[in-house]
Structure 1
Amino acid sequence: MNVKRLNGEEEDVTENGADEPWRIPIDRSQAPSREPGPIDLRRTFLQAAYTGIPTFMGTPICLEPEDLRAGGVDVAVFGVPLDSSSGHRGAAYGPRAMRSDERYLFNTPELMVSASTRVSPFTSLKVVDYGDAPIDIFSVEKSLPSIASTVREVAGAGAIPVILGGDHSLMIASVGALAEMYGPDKVGVVHFDAHPDCHEHIFGHRITHGTPIWRLIEESRIPGKNFVQVGLRTPTGPDDQLFNWMRRQGLRTHFMVEIERRGFTAVLDQVIEEILDGPEFVYLSLDIDVLDPAYAPGTGTPEPGGLTPRELFPAFRRICAETNVIGIDVVEVAPHLDPGYTTTMNARRAIFEGLTGLAMRKAGMTSADYVNPIASGQLKFPLT
C-alpha cells in the first residue's frame, strides 16, 4: 500500500504482502495549509501542568521533518511506547507520563532555570516534541526499523533526538541508525544501567531489552571499546562467561562496587575521559533502574543499591556539556509501578539536566563540572 505524507512523497507501507496499519500516516491532504514550523499548542503562556494537550514540558510540536528544519530545531523529543521485549510490561506508558508530570504545578518551559548553573535551556535551545515513533505493539522486531527511521528524520534535520522509552530494546535501532549516519567507530555510548544488557539472548529471544549491546557489537555497528557502562550491580548477571565476553570486547564497565570504593565523582571523571578516547560523537542512554529503587520504584527490574539523583543529575549535565552528544534516551519508566511519581520526576529531571548541558555546550560553557559560583556558595556578595 502506498500512502502520501504531508510533503507529497509516497511511502510504501506494505511488507511481505500484508498491510501494516500502524505504519500508515494520517492523511492531511484535507487539512488547512500551513507554513512548516513548530506549533505551540498552549492557549495561554502560563498554564498548569495538568491542563491542555500534553507535550514534553509544554514545548511546541513538530509533525514532519520540514517542521524541524523550518523551526531551526536543536532538540526533538519523541516517544517510543514499546515494551513487548520486556518480561515486565508497563514501560510503554513511560513517554506519556514523562511528557507531563502532574506533580509539577506549571509546565512553562520558558520559566525553567537550572538551579545549579543558572542556565535556562529552553531559551538557549529550540526544543520541540516530535510525537511518537510508529510502533507495532505486538512486535519489537517490526518496530525497530520505524524507530530507526524516526531517529534518522530528526538527526537528518539537524536536531538531537531525545527518546522517551519504552524499553531498552529501542537502543538497537537508535544507536544503530546514528552509527550508520556518523560511522561506527565515531560513535560512543555512555550507558547508565543496573544491568549489562549484553546478553546474547533472553529465554531464547535475541531482540529484548537485555540484548541491545550484544547485537550492536556482534553486528559490527559499534565496537565494544566505544561502550562505557555505569552502575551495574544485578546479582543475576553478568555470569563468568558474559563477564569475560565483555572484557574481550573492550567494554569499559564501572560497577557500583567501584563507585562505592572510589566515589562517584572520580568514576564520572574517568567515564568522560574514556568516552572521549576515540569516539567523536556520544549517545547517552539512561535506564532509570540505575537509580536506587528508593528514587525509582517505577521500573520493571529494580535493583537495590543504586545511584542517587544527586549523582545522576550532574552526570547527565556534565556529559552533555563536556562531550559532543548526538542522541539521548531515557527508558524503562513504568508509571503504574510509580505510586509517588518519583520515578517520572527523576526521569524528567535527568532529561532537563541533559538539556541544560546541551545549552551550556552551545554557549561554550564546556569546562569540567561548571556550576554557578553564587548558587554553589563559592562566591558570596554582601547584602545591601
Structure 2
Amino acid sequence: MLSENDYPIFLGSEIEQPKPEEAFFHIIPIPYEETVSYGGGTGRGPAAILAASWQLETFDNFSSPCEMGIYTRSPVSVSGSAEQVMGHIAAATQAVRALGKMPVGIGGEHSVTWGLIQGLLDAGETDFGVVQIDAHADLRDRYEGHKHSHASVMRLVVEAGVPLFQLGIRAYCEEEMQARRDYQVGYLDAHQLVPNQVQEFQLPEHFPGKVFFTLDVDGLDPSVFPATGTPVPGGLGWYQTLNLFESVARQREIIGFDLLEFAPIKGFHAYDFAAAQLLYRLMGIIQRNRPQAPTHGKVDNS
C-alpha cells in the first residue's frame, strides 16, 4: 500500500492505513538533505525505511506497537529555503499535535529536528525538554555559514529555551563545550556510557516532565550502523540504545521523537531493515510505558 505521494506506508504489508484520528503514531517523512558536510544520502532515508518496514513482524518480541495505530503522512515538502522547509515541518507537526497524536519524524539530515521542535512550540507545548542520542553535539552557532545546519540544530533548540540532555556524544569542539556551560546542557558522553555499558540513567530532577527524543543513527557505533554520513567510532550498541531510550520513557512522557541521518547504502538492505526495526522498537517502548495506551489499527494477516 502506498501513501498519497507514492511512498510506502509503514508496515504496509501487514496493516491498513488507518484514518489519521485513529492512529496514535504519525510518521512524518522528511527527505531533506541540504547541509550535510561529509557523506550524503540522507534524503533517501525515509523512503528506504518505509520500504524496509514491509519486512517487519507486527510483534516486536514484547508487544505489537501497530495496535496503537500507525499513520504514514505524505512527505514534507523540502523545496524552498531552509526557513521555509522548517516551516513545512512545523506545520505537519502542529497538525499531528492538534489531533492529540504523536509526531514521529524520519529523515533526512538532523537539521529537521528544529522544524519538529518549532511545531511543538507552535502547538502550545511550552514545558518540555529534548533528549538527544548522537555522535555529535550539534551546538555550533552555525556551520559552513548555515544557521540551519545539521551541526547547529541543538543550538537552535537551547536558544529557544528548551532544556537539552545529550547521550553518547563523542565529537565536539570547544565552542560546543562552552555552549553546554552557557545553556546548562546535561550530558553523559560516550566515554562514560560505552566502556561501562551503562544501560539506564536518571535525568536531572528539574528536567521537564515531557520529552521529545531525537535519535541520530550515528549515535550508534559504525560497527552496528555504518549507513550514515558522519560515522564516529566508539558509539552505542543496539541494545544499549534501546535501553537508554526506555530509561527515558520510564521517567518521562515522550511526546514525539525522530530518527535521522540514515543514509542507505546501495546493495546493503540489512541497514534499511535495521533502521525500520529501530523505529518500530522505539514505538514499542513508548507503547509499553504509557498507561492505558489506546489500541487502534487493523492488522491484515492474510
Q: Shared fold (TM-score greater than 0.5)? A: yes
* Seq. identity, %: 23
- Indicate conservation of the 8 Å contact 1:321/1:360, yes or no: no
Whether the 8 Å CA contact 1:179–1:187 is kept in 2: the answer is no
In the alignment, does 2:179 pair up with 1:250? no
Match of 2:164 in 1: 227
**1:78/1:164 contact within 8 Å kept:** yes
* Conserved? CA contact 1:319–1:357, under 8 Å: no
Code of the residue aligned with 1:269 in structure 2: it is: F
In the alignment, what sits opposite 1:68? 20
> Is 2:32 aligned against 1:82?
yes
CA distance in 1, matches of 2:245, 2:274: 12
Q: Distance in 1 between matches of 2:32 and 2:9?
A: 18
1:203 to partner: Cα distance: 1.6
Give the root-mean-square deviation of aligned CA atoms: 2.4
2:252 is equivalent to residue 323 of structure 1: yes
Give the distance between the partners of 2:177 and 2:2, measured in 1 at CA: 49
Q: Answer whether contact 1:295 1:342 (CA < 8 A) is retained.
A: no
1:210 aligns with 151
Q: Which residue in 2 is equivalent to 1:346? A: 274
The one-letter amino acid of 2:173's match is P
Residue 289 of structure 1, aligned match among 214, 218, 223: 218
Q: Could you tell me how far apart the structure 1 residues matched to 2:148 and 2:244 are?
A: 29
Take 1:358 and 1:198, find their aligned partners in 2: how far apart are those partners? Answer: 27
Larger Cα Rg: Structure 1 or Structure 2? 1
Aligned CA distance change for structure 1 residues 354 and 319 (closer, same or farther; 3 Å):
farther
Structure number with greater CO (CA < 8 Å, separation at least 6) is 2
Q: Any gaps of 5 or more consecutive residues in structure 1? A: 1-39, 43-51, 366-384
Letter in 2 for 1:151: T
Aligned partners of 1:320, 1:211: CA distance in 2, in Å?
Answer: 26
> Hey, what does 1:93 align to over in structure 2?
44
Establish whether residue 332 from structure 1 lines up as the match of residue 261 from structure 2: yes
1:132 aligns with 2:66: no
One-letter code aligned to 1:298: A
| Aligned equivalents of 1:321, 1:349: Cα separation in 2 | 21
Q: Which residue of 2 aligns with 1:122?
A: 66
User: How far has the Cα of 1:221 moved from its partner?
Assistant: 4.3
For the pair 1:112 / 2:58, whether they are aligned, the reply is yes
Residues 198 and 211, structure 1, Cα contact 8 Å, conserved in 2: yes
CA deviation after TM superposition for structure 1 residue 128, in Å: 1.2
Whether the 8 Å CA contact 1:316–1:350 is kept in 2: the answer is no
- Relative to structure 1, is the Cα distance of residues 260 and 308 closer, same or farther in structure 2, using a 3 angstrom cutoff? closer
Normalization by structure 2: what TM-score? Answer: 0.87
Aligned position for 2:11 = 57
The corresponding residue for 2:228 is: 299
Give aligned pairs, total.
288
Q: Which runs of 5+ in 2 are unaligned?
A: 294-302
Match of 1:168 among 110, 123, 127: 110
Report the AA paired with residue 57 of structure 1. Answer: L
> Matched residues in 1 for 2:40 and 2:104: separation?
22
Among 211, 234, 238, the alignment partner of 2:173 is 238
Give the Cα–Cα distance (whole angstroms) in 1 for the partners of residues 266 and 239 of structure 2. Answer: 19
* CA 321–350 in structure 1, closer or farther in 2 if over 3 Å, else same: farther
Amino acid at match of 1:157: L
The separation in 2 between residues aligned to 1:199 and 1:304, in whole angstroms, is 21
- In 1, Cα distance between the equivalents of 2:179 and 2:138? 12
Match among 65, 79, 88 for residue 146 of structure 1: 88
